[in-house]
Amino acid sequence: MAISVLLPKILETTKSNLITEPSIAVIIPTYCEAENVEQLIRQIQRLHLNIKIIVVDDSSPDQTQHIVNKLNREFENILLVSRPKKLGLGTAITAGFRHALEFDPTPDFVITMDSDFSHNPNDIPRLVNIAKKGYNLVVGSRYVAGGKMKNWPLSRKIISRFANILATGAVGLRLNDFTSGFRCYSKDYIAKVVSKLHSTTYEIQIETIRQARLNEFQVKEIPITFINRKNGNSKLSSAEFLGFLTYVVGAIFSNFNLFFIRRSQTK
């Protein structure tokens, strides 16, 4: 085929790829993740997506921020949000949402993920592809068919299952993995819900699903393989787990109240 015929075709395909490729912001909360953060960011860059990376770091006393600053000089798509002290996973994710909304244009989708390789960055396109079908919140789930967990200690498995049972009562929605932090949110969801989020720590994962239900956003789970971190330690402290429990129990009571108020109003 002559080049004069091929060239317009190639240009057209490239143009349509550029137009249809969604813009994505990936929020990575970090606290003492110096052993993981560089490798993770480099792996995300290798996906060659239309992506911005927002690292929300709470003045980690290790080299995390130094490493992100170094990468910042190499890549143009990294935003380091530096907070003065450890302020909790919930406020870190909410801060990431706010920064994502400040990009112009607003990213079509926002991914949240741990910085410890428990969540495989190569799964990002899969999450986005499902969100593109019209789901506002796609949850990477360990507890649906095809989902797996590798090397997680029994104690964490028990806590996770227990948290999921409580979360079902708190949210009033059937879902298998409420506590997974590997997710894709639509920009409509973020814009509508961000001002309603008040979580400080890990309860953010429940509050975001609860808000999806209250605002009638579509939620979908897809299987992921979760691998326990190899480097560094979990930041889930017993104080943070208590914060999670307090939120969940409060939400269960407020659901009961709503139920009884609605019933008494219909009498």
Instruction: Quote the least distance from Cβ 218 to Mg ion, whole Å.
Output: 26
Contact range with Mg ion by CB under 5 A, out of 30-38, 113-121, 150-158, 214-222: 113-121
Contact window for Mg ion (CB under 5 A) among 11-19, 115-123, 162-170, 205-213 = 115-123
To the nearest 10°, the Cα dihedral for 71, 227, 27, 207?
-160
Residue 44 CB, shortest distance to ligand GDP, in Å, is: 13
> Does residue 177 belong to the site contacting Mg ion (CB under 5 A)?
no
Least Å from the CB of residue 181 to ligand GDP: 6
Return the residue nearest Mg ion (CB atom): 114
Interaction of residue 183 with ligand GDP, rule CB under 6 A: no
Q: Is the dihedral of CA 171, 173, 176, 180 positive or negative?
A: negative
Q: Is 30 in the site for ligand GDP (CB under 6 A)?
A: yes
Q: In this complex, which beta carbon is closest to ligand GDP, that of residue 53 or of residue 56? A: 56
* Residue 33 lies near ligand GDP (rule: CB under 6 A): yes
Q: How far is CA 234 from the centre of its chain?
A: 17
At closest approach, how far in Å is the CB of 175 from ligand GDP?
Answer: 18
Strand blocks (E) in the chain: 24-30, 51-57, 78-82, 109-112, 137-141, 148-150, 183-186, 219-223, 225-227
Contact in structure between 144 and 223 (CB atoms under 8 Å):
yes
